[in-house]
Structure 1
Amino acid sequence: MRFTHLIYLLFFFLLLHCKNSDVQLSKIEGKQIQVTDKLELDSEIDQYIAPYREHIQKDLDSIIAISPKTYDKTDGELNTALGNLMADIAYEQANPIFLKRTGHNIDMVLLNYGGIRSNLPKGAITKGTAFKLMPFENSLVVAAIKGNQVNDLVNYLVKARKAHPISKLQITVDKNNTLVASKIDGAPIDADKTYYVATNDYLYQGGDSMTFFQPNENLYTLDYKIRNTLIDYFMKVDSISPVRDDRFIKIN
């Protein structure tokens, strides 16, 4: 028993000593491991994850809609069928959520041309198609901004001369790229009115030099990934039929 007590005393002494000791990190070492096709496969790990990989792949390959032809983001100068589709989907899927939460409708949508990372191929549309179109984790937000800021947004688009996806916004420029008219849902933009503009969190934070979202009256986070808006829309339609239209045009 005395020997046991001695062991306990030594244990508590060492424990107290360790707590009071001043231990500091002196060095961190590491090495770079190149992940290439030459890296040996761990068969045990591969067998373990195989059922999960197969389940995910089966889900991604499931057909959820049909595309009558291939659509590409380069098929138009100022607006494209694919960009129009993505902006219109964002509005259709997000507006009921926003309206229910706030009592307001979304006035317009702005996404970014560079965010479209793939074309939409002819034939079967799958969940994997949505992941290729939008591989990023960007989510929709709605910023409440004044009409003068919307005018800044319009001027940005006119100067950019790029088919950034828009919905509910109409822009007309002349052959010299001078703004002729800009409207939201058919009505002229009121500089003093508050507009609810849906965009992605990347652009809201100033991505692509879009600084017109700051300051704002309010920000509404929808917790709705853009990729998921695509998947949800594709799952509720049999086929898609996006078109280029007059939402952003140049007249002679």
Structure 2
Amino acid sequence: MYFYICTNVNNIHSNYNTKIHTKMILKIKQIVIITTITCFFSCKQEKPVLTQISGKQIQISDTIKITDSIEQFVAPYRDRINEVLDSTLAYAPKTIAKNDGALNTTAGNLMADAVLELAGPIFKTRTGSTLDFVLLNHGGIRSIISAGNVSARTAYEIMPFENTIVVVGLKGDAVLEMVNYLINSKKPHPIAGLQIILNKDDSINVIKIQGLPFDESKTYYVATSDYLVNGGDRMDFFKKNVTFTETDYRIRNLMIDYFSKKDTIAPIIDDRFIKLDY
């Protein structure tokens, strides 16, 4: 009987301790959870907000000291690039410029003729059609070609941009709009395959394409730059294109290839775009 009572007392004591222990654990858990949440929100960083932008110009000049380690690393690459860029590809007996004529110039004629010659076969291969003429922009020619050796560097100087040649199909009304644009612009935009002869009063005397009279009922294929076909120089007539072909040929690379094919480059001002004085 004594043993029974003691056992029950011990059981009661044990149950009591268990309840207290459970309550303590629950309380500790609550404290841990509350502390964790508090720390999380108190430690959370606010999203940074840009409040000010400042800058300064650093003039690049010979006063900046050369870092030997960088110079040694760059030198072989620079020397190789200069070797490639300065290798002679052709020869120019006289200076070729973009301002030596009123309606067509030696530089403009050179570039347009190069595009007609080298982009034409690519367009023919891809579409089966023949390239009719070329129109580029006067402002796209960025340098003269000095008399003497012509190199790949020359091509980078006259065409430093990444523009590519595209060919668009234009109906007769769009071509007429193009001709009127060229007349009104008063600039010698480079053309090839197209001839425009104006009367003294700026009215149109002759329009020929590939030596044939202009036919307003035809669709003509015109090579130009991706810059112009996308609205550059306000040549909005290109927006009326009925076909579009990308050649993936950069004008600069085309010029390098053109120079490589020629021993001597000597473009002239001719009658592709002239105005009669009578």
TM-score normalised over the length of structure 2: 0.79
Secondary structure of the 1:228 match is: helix
Distance 1:154 1:90 in 2: 19
* Contact 2:198/2:275, CA 8 A, preserved across alignment: yes
Q: 1:180 aligns with which of 188, 199, 205?
A: 205
Residue 26 of structure 1 is matched in structure 2 by 49
Deviations 1:108-137 (A, max 9, x none): 100111111111111100111111111111
Greater CA drift, 177-186 or 37-46: 37-46
Deviation per residue, 1:39-98 (Å, 9 max, x gap): 444332222111101110111110010111112111110111221111000010101111
* Contact 1:151 1:189 survives alignment (8 Å): no
Give, in angstroms, the shift of residue 36 of structure 1. Answer: 2.0
Taking only aligned residues, the RMSD between alpha carbons, in angstroms, comes to: 1.9
Q: Return 28-37 or 240-249, whichever deviates more.
A: 28-37
State the one-letter code of the partner of 2:186.
R
**Which runs of 5 or more residues in structure 1 are unaligned?**
1-12
**In the aligned structure 1, how far is the partner of 2:178 from the partner of 2:260?**
32
User: Does the CA contact (< 8 Å) of 1:148 and 1:190 recur in 2?
Assistant: no
State the alpha-carbon separation in 2 of the partners of residues 151 and 40 from structure 1.
Answer: 59
TM-score (norm 1): 0.87
Question: What's 1:10 paired with?
Answer: none
Distance 1:23 1:173 in 2: 70
Code of the residue aligned with 1:109 in structure 2: it is V
Partner of 2:7: none
Percent identical residues: 47
State the 1:35 CA deviation.
4.1
Q: What residue in structure 2 maps to residue 226 of structure 1?
A: 251
Counterpart for residue 57 of structure 1: 82
Aligned to 2:214: 189
Q: Do 1:107 and 1:185's aligned partners in 2 also have CA atoms closer than 8 Å?
A: yes
Alignment of 1:229-248 (within 5 A): 229-248=254-273
Q: State the partner residue of 2:242.
A: 217
Unmatched runs of 5 consecutive residues or more in structure 2: 1-35
Moved more, 74-83 or 183-192: 183-192
Question: 2:174·2:240 contact (CA, 8 Å) conserved in 1?
Answer: no
Q: 1:134 is matched with which residue: 159, 180, 196?
A: 159
Name the aligned partner's letter for residue 129 of structure 1: T
Q: Which residue of 2 aligns with 1:155?
A: 180
**Greater helix proportion:** 2
What code does the residue aligned with 1:118 have? S
Please list every run of at least 4 consecutive aligned residues from structure 1 whose deviation after the TM superposition is greater than 4 angstroms. Answer: none
The number of equivalent residue pairs is 235
- Paired residue type of 1:51: P
Cross-structure match for 1:171:
196
